[in-house]
Amino acid sequence: MSSTDIKHATLGSPADLDDGSASSLDDARLQKDPRQPPSRQHRFRNFLMEELDTEDTMPQVTLYCFLTGFISAICFSATFLWPTFQTGGFVQLSIAVSRLFAGPQPRDLRFETSDKQALTSLLSFLLGAALLGRLGDRLGAKRRGWVMFATFVQALLLVAAAVCVHSSEDPSVATAREYPSWRSPLGYAALGFASASLGLHAITAKRLNTRVGTSVVLTTIWVELVCDPKLFVFGGVKSRDHRAMACASIFVGGLCAGALVRTIGSAGTFGIAAGVRAISCASWAGVRAKARS
C-alpha cells in the first residue's frame, strides 16, 4: 500500500474532507445567524435579566405593604415587638443598658426576655438585609430575576418561622407585656426568621426606589402623604394615591393577621403569609420591562 493510500485511508478522501468542512461551516453559520430565533433557554435568561419598570410595580409593592402589616401583627401578638420598626427595638435595647447605671442598689442586672427578643429581631433584620441585599447589588437590584428570587427566599424564611412556632408549642398570643410568648429557643428562631424575611423585604423594596420606600417604615410614608402639595386635589394623583394605598394595605394586613392569629394560631398564619409571598414572587413576572434608551 502506498503512502497516498494510507493518507486517504486515515484522513478520508478530499471530497469527504470538503463535505465535512462545509458541514462545520454551515453549523457555525446557523449559530451566528442573527435571523435564527433564540432558544427557549436564552429567552428565559433574557426575561430574568430584564430591568423592571418601577412605574408598573404598584400592585406588587402594595402587596409588600400588606405583608408588612401581616407579619408585624403576628410577631406583636406574641412578643409586643414590631420587627419592622427597628428604631423602637434599638431604643428598647438602650433602655436595657441604662438600667445597669441607674436605679437604687442593688441594681437590676437582668437581661429581660423582651430585651433578648428585641436584640434577636434587630440582628436578624440586619443580617437579612445585609447578606442577601448585597447579593442583589451584585446581580442587579432592579432585575426581574433578583426580585423574584428575593421574594421567594422571603417565603422560605416564613415557612421556617411557621415550622419553628409549630414545634415550639408556645402560645400565639401573649397575655401581658411582662410575659411575652415565644420564650423557647424555637420561639426565638421563629422571631429571627420572620425578622430576617422583613430585612430582605425592606432592602428589596428600597432598591426599587418607588414612592413607598422600603414599604416597612410607615412614618416616612405618613409624613410625605400629609405634606403632599396635591393632598386635597380631586382626581388621580400618583404621589398621593400610592402612599395612601400603602397605608391602607398595612392596616388591612395587620387586621387580617390579628384575626387569624386568634383563630388558627401563629404557625398557620405564618403559613398563609408564606403563601402570599409565593403569589407575590410570581406576580413580578407580569411587570413590564424598562424601556431601553
**pLDDT digits 0-9 by tens, 236-254:** 888 888 889 989 999 999 9
State the average pLDDT over residues 69-76: 95
**pLDDT bracket for residue 84 (50, 70, 90):** confident
Q: What is the pLDDT of residue 198?
A: 95
Written as one string, the DSSP assignment of the chain is --HHHHHHHHH--HHHHHHHHHHHHHHHHHHH-TTSPPPHHHHHHHHHHPBB-GGG-HHHHHHHHHHHHHHHHHHHHHHS--TT-HHHHHHHHHHHHHTTTSSSSSP-----HHHHHHHHHHHHHHHHHHHHHHHHHHH-TTBHHHHHHHHHHHHHHHHHHHHHHHHHT--SS-SBTTB-S--SHHHHHHHHHHHHHHHHHHHHHHHHT-TTTTSS-HHHHHHHHHT-TTTT-SS--HHHHHHHHHHHHHHHHHHHHHHHHHHHHHHHHHHHHHHHHHHHHHHGGGSPBPPP-
For the domain spanning 58-286, the CATH number is 1.20.1250
Q: Is the pLDDT of residue 22 over 50?
A: no
Q: Is the pLDDT of residue 180 over 50?
A: yes
- Out of 44-53, 254-263, 264-273, pick the least confident: 44-53
Q: What is the pLDDT of residue 47?
A: 85
pLDDT digits (tens, 9 = 90+) for 116-151: 999 999 999 999 999 888 888 888 888 999 999 999
State the average pLDDT over residues 88-96: 88
**pLDDT bracket for residue 108 (50, 70, 90):** low
- Out of 38-52, 103-117, 192-206, 243-257, pick the least confident: 103-117
Of the ranges 28-32, 87-91, 103-107, which is most confident?
Answer: 87-91
Q: What is the pLDDT of residue 3?
A: 52
State the average pLDDT over residues 77-97: 89
